[in-house]
Amino acid sequence: MPTISIFKSDLESLLGAPGEPRTVSIDELQEWLTLVKGEVKGYQADSGELRVELQDSNRPDLWCCEGIARQIRIKFGGTARPYPFLSKQPGRPPQLLVAPGLDRVRPYVAACAATGYRVTEQGLAQLIQTQEKLADIFGHKRKTVSIGIYRLQKIRFPVTYELANPDDARFTPLGMETPMTLSEILMVHPKGLEYGSILAGQSRLPLLRDAEHRPLSFPPIINSREIGEVLVGDDELFIEVTGTDAAMVVLTLNIFAANLADRGAAIQPIAVRYPYETPFGKRVVTPRDIGRPRPIQIETIERALGQELGATVVKEALETYGYHVSTGKQSVTVKLPPYRQDLMHAMDVVEDVAMSLGYGAFSPEMPSQFTVGGLSRIEQLSDRARELMVGLGFQEIISNILGSPDHYRDAMRLEGTEWGKMVEVRNVMSSSFSCLRQWMIPSLLRVEAASARSFYPHRLFEAGEVAIFDSAHEVGSRTETVLGAVIAHAAAHFSEIHSCLDACLYYLGKTYGLEPIPHPSFLDGRVGTIVVSGTPIGLIGEIHPEVLERWQIAMPVVAFEVNLSRLEQVV
């Protein structure tokens, strides 16, 4: 999903022990990245910048240099580094007080402080990138989760998370020179304009302030410039996460805490006090270990992977992938590290076992059970019709199904008619791709209109799917397979296309009749419905000169169209 930018030297220092970077070649790195479902998309040797794409949308902890390094480091170091901030610390942690009413606006908050890590240029770039990627992709453009990072020494505890009057509360936001009220920020500030819709309809707005009433930020919109602008060289940080999903808020904070701890910071937990109930209670100390032990049968893992492994191998594989594991006789009990929350089913653990062992550790084996292959009836009929059309001298065409009402309906003179009904797209990107074709002949006229220089005669056909509007159907339309054919040359004539239809239906074993009808796309008196056993299955005729004019085709065209799905059903 996300593509991130990291620096090779930064990655190397995170891969090694503190002060001892572990150098890595790009080829080596590409190998290791399979552990995180990542791929190197670009490398600039002079700046050392790597562009890495991460696939797993359930592993936001991997969308940063620290997370990638951690997963690889655990694999090669054999064990995960402990995170002491998860265990109970002596003394009372600083407090973050939540005011009443936020449960109806943006209920959850988590925070911590990080000291002793001096922010480097590359470290700051990572911090900002992680903040953006998590809020944007994992946090649904800040709706579910947003993150603020501040200079700790400017903050007096307890910090309060409260609702403020939009016209009273004011501070100088990042990117501005003068104080603004919250209303003004929403109306003027670029971030206010971009994310303001998250707070639409709220009369009072979230505000984080410290014990001296200095605003930290207006979540999830913008930080205060005074307290919320982190610079290279800062070594005391305060991090908060607000959002609408308690678990996602805590997970996001855990990821930041782990990342900063990996860079050498000491993490100081914060106690959040709510006036309302949350999934974690009214007093929540964050970061918080939200993993739950989960027993899994060894046999479940072995059966899914098709290989006997035993408890020891499974335990080692999971431990070197960051899990906490204890073994029983026939089962393991696993717990995810604090920066992960993607264990929904035992199968998630199965994949991690396979990734940790490497897919190369599993030898491929052919499925052994016998099955009979075959084509659907409609595909068989379609293939037979295509063979016949080729034998009749027609060139096969293959077209887009998504097209424009101009082509499928208006140019065919079908506006307002039953034949002009079609499946149209609501979120149109380009009018050229805004509806599904309801018949085939326009697809062939499309080629005809573009190919006046190709030598004549033109004999074209296409067999393919169309969507026929049908409000009675489950999905409002029927997908049917039709065969369309056109002939174009100076003397193209009804009887010529009629002969082709006649031959085609003869060999398909269908007796048919033609019944004259009026149809706006064809010349009156030279068009008919093709009827088999009393069921209309298609059309044949000479294309109306006005249709040709609209397509800018300067050559007579005759055509037929047979609905193969319907033909297949008539006896």
Partner 1 sequence: MDTTSSCDNLHPLEIAVLGVFGAHPAGAALTTDQLAEATKLESSQLSMAIEWLLAKQLLAITSETVTPVVSLTAVGKSYIERSSPLDRVLSAAREASSTGKRLTIADLQTKEGLEPSDVSKAVGRLKKEGALLVVQGGCLESTGRPSPSVEAMRALLCDLDEAPRPLESFPEVQRALIHDYAVKRGSAREPFRIEERTTRSYTLSQAGAAAVTALAGQAKAEEVAQLSPDLLKDGSWRTKRFRKYTISLRPPRIAAGKKHPYREFLDAVKLKLVSMGFQEMRGSLVETEFWNMDALFMPQFHPARDIHDVYFVKEPARASAVAEPFFSRVAATHEHGGTTGSTGWGYRFDPERAKRLVLRSQGTAVSARTLALSPSVPGKYFSIARCFRYDQVDATHATDFFQVEGIVLGEDINFRTLLGLLNLFAREVAQAKEVKFVPAYFPFTEPSVELHVRHPRLGWMELGGAGLFRPEVTQPLGVTVPVIAWGLGLDRMAMVALGVHDIRELFTDNLDLIRTTRGAF
Closest CA to 441 of 508, 527, 507: 527
Measured CA to CA, the distance from residue 569 to residue 571 in angstroms comes to 6
Segment contacting partner 1 (CB under 8 A): 91-99, 315-323, 381-389, 513-521? Answer: 381-389
137: which DSSP letter?
Answer: I
SS3 state at 67: helix
Residues 115-154 that bind partner 1 (CB under 8 A): 137, 140, 144
Q: Report the residue number, 146 or 224, with the smaller CB distance to partner 1.
A: 146
- Give the binding-site size for partner 1 (rule: CB under 8 A): 92
Residue 316 sits at φ, ψ, to 5 deg, of: -65, -40
CB of residue 68 to partner 1, shortest distance in Å = 14
From residue 473 to residue 512, the character string flagging contacts with partner 1 as x (rule: CB under 8 A) and all else as - is: -xxxxxx---------------------------------
- x/- contact string, 45-74, with partner 1 (CB under 8 A)? ----------xxxx----------------
Residue 344 interacting with partner 1 (CB under 8 A): yes
**CA-wise closest residue to 171 among 153, 157, 143, 192:** 192
Least Å distance, CB 371 to partner 1, is: 4
Query: Which residue in 46, 365, 418, 515 binds partner 1 (CB under 8 A)?
Result: 365
> What Rg value do the Cα atoms of the chain yield, rounded?
33
Q: Is 233 helix (H, G, I), strand (E, B) or coil?
A: coil
| 289: contact with partner 1 by CB under 8 A | no
- The one segment of 74-82, 208-216, 327-335, 364-372 that binds partner 1 by CB under 8 A: 364-372
In which region does residue 384 sit, left (phi positive, over 0), alpha (psi from -120 to 50) or beta (all else)?
A: alpha
Residue 362 near partner 1 by CB under 8 A: yes
351 binds partner 1 (CB under 8 A): yes
Inter-residue contact 555 to 448 (CB < 8 Å): yes
The identity of residue 355, as a single letter, is M
Site for partner 1 in 238-277 (CB under 8 A): 247
Residue with tokens 């093709």: 530
181 phi, psi to nearest 5 deg = -80, 165
Tell me whether residue 462 is exposed, middle or buried, using C-beta atoms within 10 angstroms of its C-beta: 0 to 12, 13 to 18, 19 or more: buried
Out of 389, 540, 547, 553, which residue is the one contacting partner 1 (CB under 8 A)? 389
Minimum CB–partner distance for residue 534 and partner 1 (Å): 26
Distance between CA 377 and CA 372 in Å, rounded? Answer: 15
Which of 179, 451, 493, 498 touches partner 1 by CB under 8 A? 451
> What is the per-residue burial (b if ≥16 Cβ within 10 Å, else e) of 476-488?
ebeebbbbbbbbb
Beta carbon of residue 526, minimum distance to partner 1 (angstroms, whole number):
25
The dihedral built from the CA positions of residue 52, 53, 54 and 60, taken in this order, carries a sign that is positive
Q: Does 350 bind partner 1 (CB under 8 A)?
A: yes
* Footprint of partner 1 on 12-51 (CB under 8 A): 34-35, 37
3 state SS of 116 = coil
Q: Which stretch binds partner 1 (CB under 8 A): 74-82, 151-159, 323-331, 391-399?
A: 391-399
- Rounded to 5°, angle at Cα 489 from 467 and 450: 55
Among 90, 360, 509, 534, binds partner 1 (CB under 8 A): 360
- 415 in contact with partner 1 (CB under 8 A): no
CB 148 within 8 A of CB 240: yes
Which region among 110-118, 171-179, 310-318, 430-438 touches partner 1 (by CB under 8 A)? 430-438
Binds partner 1 by CB under 8 A, chosen from 20, 88, 359, 490: 359
The Cα–Cα gap between 120 and 272 comes to 29
Residue 364 or 534 with smaller CB distance to partner 1 = 364
Identified binder of partner 1 from the candidate list 167, 410, 415, 424, rule CB under 8 A = 424
- Nearer Cβ to partner 1 (84/306): 306
Provide the minimum distance between the beta carbon of 160 and partner 1 in the complex, in angstroms, as a whole number: 29
Compare residues 89 and 376 and give the one whose CB is closer to partner 1: 376
Q: Per rule CB under 8 A, is residue 174 in the interface with partner 1? A: no
Read off the amino acid at residue 34: T
